[in-house]
Structure 1
Amino acid sequence: MFIALRQFLRRFHKDEQGAALVEVAIVTPFVLLLSAGVYEFSNIFNTRLLLEAGVEDAARYMARCSSDWNTCSGLATNLAVNGAVQGGSARVTGWTANQVEITKAQSLQAVDATGTELYLSSTGTVIVVQVKTSYPYPTLGLWSYLGFGDLTLSVLHQERVFGW
């Protein structure tokens, strides 16, 4: 029996006809895993860019709004989340107006600690509006099986106020 098996295996010893198939079978899972990772990372990156665009739009709107604070902040929140002051469609699925925070502050210095001039101003104080959000990314897909935990995307943007 061993002699017959040995003779059978000798026929395949120098035969290279199936080598490419074996190599593809070994490499394919790694290529698919890499492709899935690239796809998921690009999805996360795209979501981050959409959140950033929304927060920047809302901050710019608030900086130039000439109505009262409550009206402007409601419209700016809708602009951030839906891409329009009124109505619109969601920029990011699951991102709600409750996750957007708009605050107004006075910058007591127009120059930061390093001496860099932040705002050109004839006065020492400048009113600044700050819009920020935190968005829990819904699922990491394949990455969650690799042990990556929950992901929260946080975005913040400030604008000097020209309105009011």
Structure 2
Amino acid sequence: MLDALKRLRDSFGQDQRGAVLVEMTLVAPLMIILSAGVFEFGNIMHQKLLMQAGVNDAARFAARCNSQMYTEYGLPAINCADMAKNIAVFGNPAGSGSPRVADWETSDVTVAIASPADCHDAVVGGVTQYRSVTPQVCIAKVTNAKVYADLGMLSVIGIGSITLNGTHEERLIRF
């Protein structure tokens, strides 16, 4: 009986049939979490890039929008800030269609179009802040902040919500 146990022990030590199963059991959870993290990070970067493109588009529109011109020609005044928010989120001034990023709302976007009183000096204390042929430079600034809360598998390892921010400034063009 003892000889049979010794032979079984010796053959078990040299047998490789279950080694792959044991290795896979040890490595699989780590690989699944790592793979999920890579996919989730890619999704976060995709949303960030879509939102930054919207912010850039909105700032360009806000810099060229002139609501005063409409009233001078007898047209109804427009709200450039609201239209810029719609462009950022929906890609069009009317705000129709689906947003560029799921759950992104116009309330997540801030548009600041400088009035002539809020313009910046091009040169401050002898240091050029803005290159300009005029003594003052007016800008339109669009910012956004959206919480990316759906982390999926990353929440398992304790990563909380992430806030995606974006900012873009453009010089105002008044005609």
Q: TM-score range by the shorter chain?
A: 0.7 to 0.9
Structure 2: tracts of 5 or more residues without a match: 69-76
Secondary structure at 1:16's aligned position in 2? Answer: coil
Judge conservation of contact 2:57–2:88 (CA < 8 Å) in 1.
Answer: yes
Change (3 A) 1:150 1:124: same
1:94 aligns with 2:103: yes
Greater displacement, 144-153 / 100-109: 100-109
Secondary structure at 2:121's aligned position in 1? Answer: coil
In structure 2, the residue matched to 1:142 is 153
Judge conservation of contact 2:145–2:165 (CA < 8 Å) in 1.
Answer: yes
Q: Provide the rounded CA distance (Å) in 2 between the counterparts of 1:41 and 1:5.
A: 53
Secondary structure at 2:142's aligned position in 1? Answer: strand
Change (3 A) 1:7 1:131: same
Greater displacement, 1-10 / 84-93: 1-10
Change (3 A) 1:74 1:4: same
Judge conservation of contact 2:33–2:154 (CA < 8 Å) in 1.
Answer: no
Q: Give the drift of 1:103.
A: 0.8
Secondary structure at 1:44's aligned position in 2? Answer: helix
Q: Provide the rounded CA distance (Å) in 1 between the counterparts of 2:36 and 2:23.
A: 20
In structure 1, the residue matched to 2:72 is none
Judge conservation of contact 2:123–2:135 (CA < 8 Å) in 1.
Answer: no
Q: Provide the rounded CA distance (Å) in 2 between the counterparts of 1:108 and 1:73.
A: 20
Q: Give the drift of 1:57.
A: 0.5
The CA deviation string for residues 59-97 of structure 1, in whole angstroms up to 9 with x for no partner, is 000011132485211111111011112223210111111
The one of 111, 116, 137 aligned to 1:126:
137
The residue type equivalent to 2:67 in the other structure is S
Change (3 A) 1:14 1:129: same
RMSD: 2.5
1:79 aligns with 2:87: yes
Q: Give the drift of 1:107.
A: 4.3
The residue type equivalent to 2:141 in the other structure is Q
Change (3 A) 1:139 1:112: farther
The residue type equivalent to 2:66 in the other structure is S
Greater displacement, 51-60 / 100-109: 100-109
The residue type equivalent to 1:29 in the other structure is P
The CA deviation string for residues 107-135 of structure 1, in whole angstroms up to 9 with x for no partner, is 4232579x5x5543222211101001110
In structure 2, the residue matched to 1:110 is 122
**Quick one: percent identity of the two aligned structures?**
40
The residue type equivalent to 2:101 in the other structure is V
Give me the TM-score of the superposition, normalised by structure 1: 0.85
Give me the TM-score of the superposition, normalised by structure 2: 0.81
Greater displacement, 35-44 / 121-130: 121-130
